[in-house]
Amino acid sequence: MKLGILKEREEETRVSIVPAVVQRFIKELSFEVYFESGVGQKAGFSDGDYMKAGAALMGRDEILELLDIITIINPFDTPFQPNSPKTVISILNPLFRTGELGKMTHSNLTLFSLDMVPRSTKAQAMDVLSSVASISGYKAVIKAAELYGSVFPMFTTAAGTIRPAKVLIIGAGVAGLQAIATARRLGAIVHVFDVRSSAKEEVQSLGANFIEVEGAAENLNAGGYAIEQSQEFLEKQRALIDKYVSESAIVITTANIPGKRAPLLIEKSSVEKMKHGSVIIDLAAEQGGNCALTVDQQTVTHHGVRIVGDSYLSRELAETTSQLLATNYFNFLKHYVQLDTISRTDDPILTASMLIQDGELVNERILSILNEEVC
């Protein structure tokens, strides 16, 4: 098979396949690999690195016209040829961007989105969400430490003692857990809120304090994600979060619900109770944000508090993130090519992650959302 690696949009620093993984495609799967010039430049990989790994340089138009499989993180606005069969592997957040999928319904395009891969033991090595979230959680704490006007750990000097920073982390998924671990290593006092009671033990094992609001709805079939809550619970939740936000120097929010607007957890009035110089990092910004003042891809200052809205902090650590994503892409394609055509139609990993087949929307979750919007 022939694989093409496409260059990303201007704002995207990550790359879908790195040179080390090119070698694996060639040696383990006998792929021919081609790449667009400059594909990995923003992630720290030169064209020479790709050629040394065994890939060949090819123009964008030729990749789009001639190759069987194309990898790219965000394929929107990519001019795919309508009469050239293509399998495209991407990461789209399609449950939140269903309206944009119409752009991709070309006559011979089959589109997979790796963030739709089910959370299962078999698919663990393909889990791009965990790869990105882990880096984002780490970077959120580092960024907050850079913006914060004091230090994280306790300092005892001849001039006196500086108390450790108080950090509140909302959401104890992969990003939240990495943020907890990083903040604890830096010496902060960490409190964590999550609607899932099952997160308590893991949070406490990292040395953080778990904040619990009784009465949360949980769903064992939600794949480890939070689900929507009742209005009564949300009111109790906001009151408790308000208390901890006002006492914290750093707040990192990671709470998302797949396909829905991110839950609004921090009110404007709560931000106004924080000390000047405090920092909020909102990793749920793309889906509306957990803070009422969040603006996606912007830093807003309100009452002396900086609110950073950025769901793509992993782009600031592009080399490491790309290495993880490339391995996820490789494991997915390895699984894909090992199945025959008939087996692919019944495979739970492929059916969950396939959005479009031969130009037609086929994903049941996407179709369900679109039907709800019509009704």
Distance CA 16, CA 72 (A): 6
3-state secondary structure 9-74: CCCCCCCCCCHHHHHHHHHHHCCEEEECCCCCHHHCCCHHHHHHCCCEECCHHHHHHHCCEEECCC
Alpha-carbon distances of 25 from 8, 55, 141, 243, rounded to whole Å: 20, 10, 35, 52
Q: Helix count (H) and strand count (E) of the chain?
A: 12, 17
The catalytically annotated residue of 120, 124, 338, 343 is 124
Residue 124 falls in the annotated catalytic set: yes
The catalytically annotated residue of 119, 184, 306, 344 is 119
The tokens for 85 are 């069969």
Q: Do the beta carbons of residue 369 and residue 95 sit within 8 Å?
A: yes
Phi-psi region of 54 (alpha: psi -120 to 50; beta: other; left: phi over 0): left
The catalytically annotated residue of 14, 16, 24, 127 is 127
- Which is it for strands 360-361 and 86-90: parallel, antiparallel or unpaired? unpaired
The catalytically annotated residue of 16, 90, 113, 130 is 130
Burial of 14 (0-12, 13-18, 19+ CB in 10 A): buried
Distance CA 295, CA 285 (A): 7
Secondary structure (3-state) at 209: strand
Distance CA 373, CA 97 (A): 12
Distance CA 234, CA 266 (A): 11
The catalytically annotated residue of 23, 68, 225, 306 is 225
Residue 119 falls in the annotated catalytic set: yes
Instruction: Determine how many CB atoms are found less than 10 A away from the CB of residue 32.
Output: 15
Residue 344 falls in the annotated catalytic set: no
Alpha-carbon distances of 181 from 2, 161, 205, 324, rounded to whole Å: 41, 24, 10, 19
Q: Do the beta carbons of residue 266 and residue 291 sit within 8 Å?
A: yes
* Residue carrying the six token digits 């929307």: 361
Active site (catalytic) residues: 119, 124, 127, 130, 225
